[in-house]
Amino acid sequence: MRALRCLAKDQSPEIQQIERPEPAQGQLRIKIAACGLNFADLLMVKGSYQDTPPYPFTMGMEVAGIIDALGEGVSGPAVGTPVMVFGGQGGLADYACFEAARVTPLPDGANMAEAAALQVAYGTSHLALGYKAGLKAGETLLVLGAAGGVGLTAVEIGKHMGARVIACARGADKLAVAKAAGADHLIDAETDDIREAVRALGGADVVYDPVGGDQFKAAMRACNPEARLLTIGFASGDVPQVPANILLVKNLTVIGFYWGGYLAFKPSVVTDSLKELVRWHAEGKIKPHVSNTLPLEQALDGMELLRSRKSTGKVVITL
1 neighbors 10 (Cβ within 8 angstroms): no
CA distance 59 to 89: 5
319 residues of the chain, pLDDT tens digit each = 999 999 999 999 999 999 999 999 999 999 999 999 998 999 999 998 888 999 999 999 999 999 999 999 999 899 999 999 999 999 999 999 999 988 999 999 999 999 999 999 999 999 999 999 999 999 999 999 999 889 999 999 999 999 999 999 999 999 999 999 999 999 999 999 999 999 999 999 999 999 999 999 999 999 999 999 999 999 888 999 999 999 999 999 999 999 988 988 998 899 899 999 999 998 988 889 899 999 999 999 999 999 998 888 899 999 9
CA distance 91 to 315: 14
The single-letter DSSP state of residue 100 is G
CATH 3.90.180.10 in the chain, residue ranges: 2-110+289-318
List Cβ neighbours of 225 (8 Å cut-off, separation of 6 or more).
250, 251, 252
CATH 3.40.50.720 in the chain, residue ranges: 120-259
CA distance 89 to 44: 10
CA distance 70 to 2: 21
Closest to 212 measured CA to CA, from 122, 150, 285: 150
14 neighbors 7 (Cβ within 8 angstroms): yes
CA distance 116 to 118: 6
CA distance 82 to 111: 10
Q: Please tell me the class of the 120-259 domain.
A: alpha beta
Per-residue DSSP letters for 230-289?
Answer: EE---TTS--PPP-HHHHHHHT-EEEE--GGGHHHH-HHHHHHHHHHHHHHHHTTS----
Cis preceding-peptide flag for 267 (omega within 30 of 0): no
User: Which residues share a beta bridge with 99?
Assistant: 27
Structural fold of domain 2-110+289-318 = Quinone Oxidoreductase; Chain A, domain 1 (3.90.180)
